[in-house]
Structure 1
Amino acid sequence: MTDSLKWDLEKILEGSTIEGLKEEYFRQNQEISDLYDLDIFTDKEKLIKFHKLSLRNTITSNRLFNYLSNKHNEDLSNNEWFNLMQEIQMKSIPFIQKLSDFSDRVIKNKEKILEFLQDPNLSEHRKSYEDIFRYEKHELPPIIKKFLATYSPLASSFNSVFTLLIDKEMRVKPAKDSTGKSHIISNYSEFIKTQTDPDRILRKNAYINWYEAINNSRESLARLLYYNFLELNIDAQNRNFSEGYYEASVFSDELPVSFVPKIYNQVEKFKKHWKAYSKIQKQLLKKEYSLKGLKPWDMRMPVLKKDNSSISIEEAKTLAQESLKILGEEYSKNLFLALSGGWIDWEVRKNKLSGAYCIGGCYGLENKYILLNYNHKIDDVYTLVHELGHAMHAVEFCKHQTYYASSSIFLAEIPSTLNELLLSFYLLDKYKKDPKKKLEIYDNLISNFFGTTISQIIFSEWEYDVNKIILKGGVLDADLGEKIFVEKQEKFYGKKKKISPLKKKSLTSIFTVPHFYSGEFYVYKYAIGQVVSLLIADSIQKDPRYIDKYFKFLRVGCSLSNLEAIRLLEIDLESDRGWKRVGNIVSNWISEYSLLANSI
């Protein structure tokens, strides 16, 4: 493997060593801790110094933990880096405990701090302090917070057990293909791979075996998720959020509690578009594969048999640069930098983390690192532009912010989803004289749209309803969870069918949605990302000057509330107007899709 295909993590160390960086981190922690003892909230100069030290510490922390986590993800079989992370986190507990009463002391000295914020050296921190003041009635007593801080290493315990159950301990019977050959299925991505295999016998056996394996653990999975939600709701109620975990999450996002149900109502209106698309898609699948009827294991097949053409890494880079050129010269310049070397770990390797990501916590790092597992397919090009969307977002907010150089989950998927849309629009133009290619691209566009709106909203409203039940003292068990899942599918897909024994087993999949273990109510945000990015793409195509608004959005980081940031794009998610516009765009896609389907 050439160095140009690997990321340059050593750049993070800036000529130092990991030991040197670790020592610097703990030295800064001690310096902050000593200053914190001097009552920084009654002395403006000490408070200014505290924030300057904290910013330096944030940069050191970003460098340290990004280096360690990315090194670990290069080779998961090597625990050296993971063990070092755990050691540092354990040693950091006293520091975390000491600062755990920060919000309480801020609230206690509210009048003094409001006076200090008039100083230009502190005015940048106004939003941070206003956020703390918002939580005044939701703060726990300092002694309780210090006690809870000792439990921080257990923060991901439910998620860890869930991951072990699904990825390590779940036993899926090997699936036989039409020749009698057995195929090992160890995880979800391997299962999904079987569902696009031309061998229908393999698809069927893999489908049956996968859902039988999940079904064997249905009660354990339901119970684990119940306790996860119960803990989140108890914690939220202890902090005076009467509507529990859901209210705490939307409060954190500065949204009214009525906001998410309104999103559910808007997405439900896409049902008629989904029905129109589904009808055409099914006809295409039957025709392409000479099938009299369709089964669940047929539904992930491409509507046209893929040519399996290979796309080299250099070709992928060119596609990314050409499709995103519409975003302007500055975006293209930063994109070239990201693709030139040192930012991206491209290739598949044994024991490397699967999937793809762009790092978080990147303020102070020149490279916004991206991990890929590039397999030379068009889907991998979409993954590339998606992660580049995150990276370019980070480039902009890190350049224009200091203390607010990050993005909320609410906003994070907008730049990445936009890039996927722009790639699709570029490919539609490139293949405008090739109806088969255009059909494939439209199918990808439309299926992705419904996958990130209707499908994710089904999960989200399921989570919303289940948490309401738990808040009232109810218990989530497998039967109840599956019943609610059926209701949501009927609501958003608009179909009510008799549930076969096999379909019933597949309902257990609702307990395997990893996002439910994130500690945040956020699955609906995928729909937000899709809708907002589609409105941006449409606006840019109609008026290139709109790019200026988009860059303002990229640059605000988290210095504004989520809805304020989106309003910079002249988009109001609480109004029907944008949602209707999106519905019209998708309806036009489906009309084109139908014409292409009839012409082939």
Structure 2
Amino acid sequence: MGKETKNRDQIDKKYKWNIEAMYADEEQWKKDYQIVEEKAKDFKSYAGRLGESPQVLLEAFQKKDTIWLILERVYVYARMKKDEDNQVNKYQAMSDKASSLIAKTSSYLSFFTPELLDIPEDKLKGFIAAEEGLKLYEHAINEFLREKAHVLSQTEENLLAQISEIASSTNDIFTMINNADIKFGTITDEDGDEVEVTHGRYIGFMESHDQRVRKDAYEHVYQAYGQLKNTLATTYNYNTKTDVITARIRKYESALHAALSGDNIPISVYDNLIETVNSRLDLLHRYVEVRRKLLGVQDVHMYDMYVPLVELPKEEIPYQKSLDMMREGLAPLGDDYLQKMNRGIEAGWIDVYENQGKTSGAYSFGSYDSMPYILLNYNGKLKDVFTLVHEMGHSMHSYYTRHNQPFIYGGHSIFTAEVASTVNESLLIHHLLENTKDPEKKKYLLNLYIEEFRTTLFRQTMFAEFERLTHYAVENGEVLTAEWLSDEYGKLNKKYFGPKVSYDPLIEMEWSRIPHFYKAFYVYKYATGFSAASAISEEILKKGQPARDAYIEFLKSGDSDDPIELLKIAGVDMSRPEPIEKAMNAFETLIVEIEKLV
């Protein structure tokens, strides 16, 4: 890709996703937009009638599904067009319009849940028994009944729906600051060239074996966030307040209870994760010491935490080669998985390279009736191959689900979604470790696997602990100032990484650059998902077809049951601490192996 970040129109079409498969032209998008507006208005005709008969209730469920199916397509297309280049005002406007339509539609449909819950439970059960078509919605109805205590009156639900757009504005503000406005300046890279620091290049700089490059990039990034610390603290403070106030309005015990309730996840799962990881922080401290010795430095700084411990010859992995590596690594998932994945790649699921204004990072996205698209910022590093494999896990999960579940169960909670992505990563690393003869490369891969544990199991748990801390503070009347946030984050960072890391005040600003904090109590699912995936991939590699078949059944299950129950299909019980403990034991084994190399 070269040193300069290209404009969107300079990228070859074969490396862009086939978004035209959603809408051949934007006139069709406008038509769907209007269809949703009309159908949402018409849906109000069901108000006051849901308890009339089983047939009326079924009809209302089906029409509601149709509205959301089209609206999802409208929103996803607009959002993906905006993500292609955040600088294009036209797509900013389309994305904003789609968000407004979601709020407006939610308002029109807001009577549905409270009115459904006004129907006596025995009458609802009678409706399901009398109308075959309603059996499809039985799990959904049971989920509504479970949340009954937290559903408000129709008037209150309507008011909340109308202000939902304002309530989500802090996320939009952060996104625009983070993707469009903030600039990190330029540094001199390893080759002596002046290079702009971008989101997409930052990790590459942090993996440089030149400590000066790492330090320069690190300081440029955190100083840029530091200059905006009061704005970012205010934005995050109000984001957290929104969570807390919404939870109170809905009569939840806390914002954490509200966040976990949707997936029916016990609070003990969240607390057990933090407690179990905290009880084994000595392992992370041991790893920091291994890092110090292998890097040959007197002091380890936070900007030394990402550089691979073994310097391999610079290897540019062309995108086509990364696809081959993915196919080989995922072979244990069977022919059906690989054939479907290959057809998807050919059909244009993936948007490959970084361009000016493109949303940073990577994701899997799409609507129920679209391709399960993948956004990448591929940069030719081994880490980028793992990102590709990770996002493909999400997209294949979506593919299997959408082809086996009706729309109402066609999504997945993040709790289960992160398992699908991490199983893929785990299979790839096992494949690479088994098939690498070069001892130095093996050492490199071993470190890479350890880093997966550090960044997913430890780091995401640290984030989860921070979120619990910030929400608890707001619930107890505190204001999240820049000083408070930086102080508390600094303490957590010290606790997790231990005394062997040389303290650097700049790391206290890390809270300000984490997009996931704007969707509270989300990141813990990376850690639980990693633990579950560790167990599942081990079973697939040990037992072959029976474990693989059970796993594919899990991928097909979508939202058809609670996440804890769905994972049991794949052989993992996340209601117990054992999967986290097993992951910690696996991490310890890796630490022992790498300590032998010091």
Normalising by the residue count of structure 2, what TM-score does the alignment of the two structures yield?
Answer: 0.90
- 326-335 or 140-149: which moved more? 140-149
CA distance in 1, matches of 2:429, 2:473: 41
- How far 1:446 moved relative to its partner? 0.5
Q: Residues 158 and 228 of structure 1 are in contact (CA less than 8 Å); yes or no, is this contact kept in structure 2? A: yes
Equivalent residue, structure 1, for 2:542: 542
- 1:453 counterpart (451, 457, 460): 457
- Residue aligning to 1:352: 358
TM-superposed deviation, 1:533: 0.6
Paired residues for 1:214-363 under 5 Å: 214-242=225-253, 244-286=254-296, 291-360=297-366, 362-363=367-368
- State the Cα distance separating 1:466 from its structure 2 match: 2.4
Determine whether 1:407 maps to 2:419. Answer: no
Alignment-derived partner of residue 55 in structure 1:
65
Aligned match of 1:468: 472
Shift of residue 583, structure 1, vs aligned partner: 2.5
Asked if residue 395 in structure 1 is aligned to residue 406 in structure 2, the reply is no
The separation in 2 between residues aligned to 1:167 and 1:24, in whole angstroms, is 32
Match of 1:370, SS state, is: strand
* Contact 2:456-2:527 at 8 Å conserved across structures: yes
- The aligned residue for residue 422 of structure 1 is 427
1:48: Cα distance to partner? 1.6
Q: Does 1:116 align with 2:127?
A: yes
Equivalence for 2:6:
none
2:8 matched to which residue of 1?
A: none
Q: Report the equivalent of 1:368.
A: 372
The one-letter amino acid of 1:257's match is I
**Cα 1:347–1:256 shift into 2, 3 Å:** closer
Structure 1 residue 101: deviation in Å? Answer: 1.8
**1:512 match:** 513
Relative distance call for 1:141 and 1:568 in structure 2 (3 A) is: same
Which deviates further from its counterpart, 10-19 or 329-338?
A: 10-19
Q: Which residue of 2 aligns with 1:87?
A: 97
In structure 2, C-alpha distance between the alignment counterparts of 1:178 and 1:227, rounded to whole Å: 41
Identify the residue that residue 563 of structure 2 maps to in structure 1. Answer: 562
Residue from 436, 444, 453 that aligns with 2:448:
444
Alignment of 1:28-39 (within 5 A): 28-34=39-45, 36-37=46-47, 39=49
Count of aligned pairs between the two proteins: 583
Q: Secondary structure at the match of 1:42?
A: coil
Q: 2:161 aligns with which of 133, 144, 149?
A: 149
Counterpart residue type for residue 513 of structure 1 = I
Correspondence 1:41-190 to 2 at 5 A: 41-90=51-100, 93-111=103-121, 112-118=123-129, 119-170=131-182, 172=184, 174-175=186-187, 183-185=195-197, 187-190=198-201
RMSD after superposition: 2.7
Q: Which amino acid aligns with 2:341?
A: L
Cα deviations by residue, 1:339-396 (Å, 9 ceiling, x for unpaired): 2232222233333333222114x3222x211122222222221111111101110111
Aligned partners of 2:15, 2:183: CA distance in 1, in Å? 35
Q: Which residue of 2 aligns with 1:480?
A: 484
In the aligned structure 2, how far is the partner of 1:177 from the partner of 1:350?
A: 20
Question: TM-score by structure 1 length?
Answer: 0.89
One-letter amino acid matched to 1:76: N
How far apart in 1 are the matches of 2:399 and 2:194?
A: 47
Cα deviation, 1:406-435, whole Å, max 9, x if unaligned, reads 00011111111111111111111221x211
CA change 1:143–1:350 in 2 (3 A) is: same
CA-CA distance at 1:536 after TM superposition: 0.7
Retained in 2: the 8 A contact 1:264–1:457? yes
| Per-residue Cα deviation, 1:524-563 (whole angstroms, up to 9, x for no partner) | 1111111111111111111112112212211211111111
Letter in 1 for 2:148: E
Question: Which ranges of structure 1 fall in alignment gaps of 5 or more residues?
Answer: none
* Residues 1:96 and 1:332: Cα distance change in structure 2 (over 3 Å): same
Long gaps (5+) in structure 2: 1-10
Matched, 1:11 2:21: yes
Residues 573, 497 of structure 1: alpha-carbon distance in 2 compared, 3 angstrom cutoff: same
1:456 Cα shift? 1.3
The equivalent residue for 2:528 is 528
Tell me the CA shift for residue 439 of structure 1. 0.9
What one-letter code is carried by the residue in structure 2 that aligns with 1:86? D
Give distance in 1, aligned partners of 2:536 and 2:385: 21
- Code of the residue aligned with 1:216 in structure 2: it is Q
Instruction: Work out whether residues 310 and 444 of structure 2, in 8 Å CA contact, stay in contact via their aligned partners in 1.
Output: yes
* Larger CA deviation: 536-545 vs 152-161: 152-161
The answer to whether the Cα contact below 8 Å between 1:13 and 1:63 also exists between their aligned partners in 2 is no
Q: 1:329 offset after TM fit, Å?
A: 1.9
Q: Partners of 1:228 and 1:351 in 2: how far apart?
A: 25
Say if 1:155 and 1:453 are closer, same or farther in 2 by CA, change over 3 A.
same
Change (3 A) 1:100 1:581: same
Question: How far does residue 523 in structure 1 lie from its aligned partner after superposition?
Answer: 1.7
Matched residue of 2:509: which SS?
helix
Name whichever of 72-81 and 467-476 sits farther off. 72-81
Could you say what secondary structure the match of 1:400 adopts? coil
Matched letter for residue 593 of structure 2: E
- Alpha carbons of 1:395 and 1:206: their partners in 2 closer, same or farther (altered >3 Å)? closer
Contact 1:72 1:78 in 2 (8 A): yes
Shift of 1:41: 2.7
Q: Which of the residues 358, 365, 383 maps onto 2:387? A: 383
> In the TM superposition, what is the alpha-carbon distance from 1:168 to its structure 2 partner?
4.8
SS in 2 for 1:258: helix
CA distance in 1, matches of 2:169, 2:89: 19
Any idea what SS the aligned residue of 1:532 has? helix
The residue that corresponds to 1:212 in the other structure is 223
Shift of 1:584: 2.6
Amino acid at match of 2:524: Y
Kept in 1, the 8 Å contact 2:71–2:102? The answer is no
1:441-487: CA deviation from partner (whole Å, max 9, x where unpaired):
11111011111111111121122122222212223333433333244
Q: Deviations over 1:109-134 (max 9, x none)?
A: 13332221223210121121122222
What SS does the corresponding residue of 1:41 show, helix, strand or coil? Answer: coil
Cα separation, 2, equivalents of 1:139 and 1:116:
21
The Cα shift of 1:498 comes to 8.1
C-alpha contact 2:47 2:112 (8 A) present in aligned 1: no
Contact map agreement 2:207 2:214 (CA 8 A) in 1:
yes
Moved more, 255-264 or 273-282: 273-282
Provide closer, same or farther for how the CA distance between residues 14 and 190 of structure 1 changes in structure 2, counting only shifts above 3 A. closer
Hey, what's the Cα distance between the residues in 2 that align with 1:429 and 1:394? 29
Contact 1:572 1:578 in 2 (8 A): yes
